[in-house]
Amino acid sequence: MTDRQEIPSPAPSLPRVAGLVVVDKPLGWTSHDVVSRMRRLAGTRKVGHAGTLDPAASGVLVVGVEKATKLLTYVTGTDKTYRASIRLGAATVTDDAEGDVTSTAAPERLAALTDDAVLAAVAELTGEIQQVPSAVSAIKVDGQRSYARVRKGEDVELPARPVTVHEFTVHGISREPTDAEPTAVDVEATVTCSSGTYIRALARDLGEALGVGGHLTALRRTRVGSFTLEQSHTLDELTEQVRAGGTVSTLPIDEAARGLFPVRELTAPEATDLSHGRRIAAAPARPGGAASRSGAGAGDTASAGDVAASGSEPAGGFRAGLPVACFAPDGTLVALAEDRGPADRRYTTSVLGIAAGMTFTAAAAPDATGVEKPGAGDPGAGQDGTKRTERTHD
């Protein structure tokens, strides 16, 4: 890591934008190392990450800045995609290349291992499976991290847990040093899986299923939810942005929420009530995404339905159980909310306040010419003329 004194911070006069930063984590860095660097680059201590990526792995690490740290729990729970390199023929204590080898397969056993056998074993590890996490995971056992117990020489056995492997696609199988007398069989694959899946455990289980042992040799995360490598920035790129007098490239919290959650557009009175923690009438949400506001006014709804109460995935591709992102008429993210109550008395209540204690006042309608609305040019007015003020007392 670069000396702290060489890492720039944004000028105090520059705003600290609440949002998400998609970082391409380099090899050798812990996720906490990245957070520490981002605190310096963003000029704030309010920084967190959505899902640990081991030092031996690289790729997408979603970082939250300021209020956007509140969204990280929901990012962590999304599906993820990895490019993985698996070596068959040897098992290690850590299930990856950094651990001591515990067993090796005989060359004749590896020579008899066919590509079809590998693909059949991969198919058995696809779908809904029960997976025993790696013993060197961060899972706590009696208040202590499992990996810490392993380092002290303890034999740790973790219980299996349900995970879903949506995709386990093999791109290549090669043998080292020769096909005739291999000492290892290398498998290149893409894995898309649910949160909580351990790729090193997949490598271990693949080797065990084939009777030759296996471990992970390389891992690169290419996607977390809707965030991909194509959107990511290296730490060097972010450092240069700040050194040049700017701030780090951030996806603003409003835009991030539209991509993560179903959306409900509120009227000004609804936005004010929800901002102050009061219930509002229930209404269907619309799928989020870049097009979610096209042609929609305050209070507009569509068919995403009661997402939090539904057991099915809504039309926008969001997983069940997500709250709804509620926006004021001027585009301000007011809160994440969910519908509650019996079917005949449903109401919407905030589960995570973002813009608390705000008063939103709708402006008057435009005049007959349609040229200008009252409130135009008012620094407190939103794009539609809606005024937003911070309430100082109730």
pLDDT at 5: 57
As beta bridge partners, residue 304 has none
H or E element at residue 25: strand 19-25
Query: Residue 53: pLDDT band by 50, 70, 90 thresholds?
Result: very high
**Separation of alpha carbons 184 and 174, rounded Å:** 9
Compute, in degrees rounded to 10, the torsion defined by CA atoms 133, 138, 141, 142.
-160
Amino acid occupying residue 307: V
Residue 30: pLDDT over 80? yes
- Output phi, psi for 45, to 5 deg: -90, -10
Amino acid occupying residue 265: E
pLDDT at 288: 61
Residue 42: pLDDT over 90? yes
Q: Please write the tens of the pLDDT for every residue from 257-304.
A: 999 999 999 999 999 999 999 999 998 666 665 333 333 333 333 323
Q: Please write the tens of the pLDDT for every residue from 244-259.
A: 999 999 999 999 999 9
pLDDT at 305: 40
pLDDT at 2: 56
Most confident of 48-52, 80-84, 314-318: 80-84
Sign of the Cα torsion 243, 246, 247, 249 reads negative
pLDDT at 148: 73
Active site residues: 54
pLDDT at 320: 63
* CB-based contact 95:201 (threshold 8 Å): yes
Mean of pLDDT values over 17-45: 96
Query: What separation, in Å, do the N-terminal and C-terminal C-alpha atoms of the chain show?
Result: 49
Query: Residue 155: pLDDT band by 50, 70, 90 thresholds?
Result: confident
Q: Are strands 214-224 and 57-65 parallel, antiparallel or unpaired?
A: parallel
pLDDT at 368: 44
Top-confidence residue, 189 or 158: 189
**Separation of alpha carbons 153 and 75, rounded Å:** 34
Most confident of 137-151, 171-185, 263-277, 279-293: 263-277
pLDDT at 239: 96
Q: Please write the tens of the pLDDT for every residue from 381-392.
A: 444 444 444 433
The predicted model scores a pTM of 0.81
* CB-based contact 43:9 (threshold 8 Å): yes
pLDDT at 285: 63
Can you read off the two tokens belonging to residue 177? 């040093």
Residue with tokens 């005024």: 387
**Separation of alpha carbons 113 and 77, rounded Å:** 37
- DSSP 3-state of 191: strand
Residue 71: pLDDT over 90? yes
Top-confidence residue, 237 or 315: 237
pLDDT at 363: 54
As beta bridge partners, residue 286 has 263
- DSSP 3-state of 217: strand
Q: Please write the tens of the pLDDT for every residue from 96-124.
A: 999 899 999 999 999 999 999 999 999 99
Residue with tokens 């991509």: 259
* CB-based contact 385:363 (threshold 8 Å): yes
- Output phi, psi for 364, to 5 deg: -70, 160
Provide CB contacts within 8 A for 218, sequence distance 6+. 83, 84, 85, 97
The mean pLDDT value of the chain amounts to: 84
User: How many CA within 13 A on the CB side of residue 256?
Assistant: 27
**Separation of alpha carbons 145 and 136, rounded Å:** 8
The region of weakest confidence among 66-80, 309-323, 343-357, 368-382 is 368-382
Query: Residue 36: pLDDT band by 50, 70, 90 thresholds?
Result: very high
